[in-house]
Structure 1
Amino acid sequence: MRYFTTTDVGQSIRKAFGGYTHILVNRGYTTIKPVFFRSASIADLPVYVWAWWDRASDGQLARWRDRGGVLLDRYTYSDRAGPADVLVFVECPMTMDRLTCSHANTAEYTVIPVPHTWRVHEECIDLRTPRVEDLRTIRSACRGRRLTDEQLESETGIPRQRVTYMRKSLKPVEEWELRPRLAPGAPGLVPA
């Protein structure tokens, strides 16, 4: 598999379409402050929009497979669309798993955009792997209670956008459930 980088996603899609028939564009966003891709930059190309969870868009996928063109996949992993000649990401992937799974059905090459700044990626990595102090703050605020993101924000002082991003990274459900437990050096622990 060949990988290329780009600073202009629209131009990379055009170049790929000039040489190949089936271009798959991964339009899933995972950063906390995404820079959205402007589809208008490729409006003159045959563009189809699809998401595996949206059954109403299955016709778009079928037409793309039959006719070729550019398929905008709205999910963060692009392994469900089937074979493609070229895969173009609109956002630099946060994980190698996303990159390798997404290009599994790609025949020729994958294009990865270079962000104009790595600050957002670094911030997201910090939120996906929270500092010990933040985890302790969250644990002391919860103490076995179920809290919404808004409640957690008000009790910890951590902005809701960050709380939501951390929660989605750690456990993909609507509410965290943290239960109190004994610390490793607690007096209630008796050696076996």
Structure 2
Amino acid sequence: MKSLYLRTGAVALACALGLAGCGGSSGQLLLGGTVVGVTKDTLVLQNNGAHDMSITASGTFYFNDLIGIDEQYNVTVKSVPSNVDHCDVANPSGRSAFNVTNVIVSCVLKTHDVNATVSGLAGATGLVLVNGTTQVPVTADTASGALLKLGSVGEDQPYGYAVLTQPAGRICSIANGSGTMGSANISNVAITCVSTAN
């Protein structure tokens, strides 16, 4: 808490000396909190429909403009990064009595599907894939031209599917099973199984 008060004083001094973009603020209190789910430029927040704050990564944030004691504040989302579906704001508004540090902005990434073709399983059971901690059972070959949805991945996030458990009497391998999710579904993953019988 001591560092928070020191920061308040430092920001206020910088504003007074014209060393920071404080928008003419004459307040004494910080307004901010935490942002989660931001992985790329740029999330833009506003207080009371003005005083833009640009955020490029998850973490702690504070508006450049200080707010006054007993001042109404209302934090909203002006714009989101291209890979974000939406952002929700918890504790967005109120009247200040102390530094406001409990605003929480939670952003949800756009997601896209990872799809695969499956061949050679021939009714064998027990094939289980894994992506991180998520397990994906695979129970049958896909019909000609059909795709099996393995899961959904956030845009710009990595994925990597591997065989966790081989099916009885088969050895299965995966082609194109890892990468970074772009702005569209992935449909080139191929799961190929062969018999272990001589």
For the aligned pair, the TM-score class normalised by the smaller chain equals: under 0.3
Asked which structure has the greater RCO (Cα within 8 Å, sep 6+), the reply is 1
Which structure has more strand as a fraction of its residues? 2
| TM-score normalised according to structure 1 size | 0.26
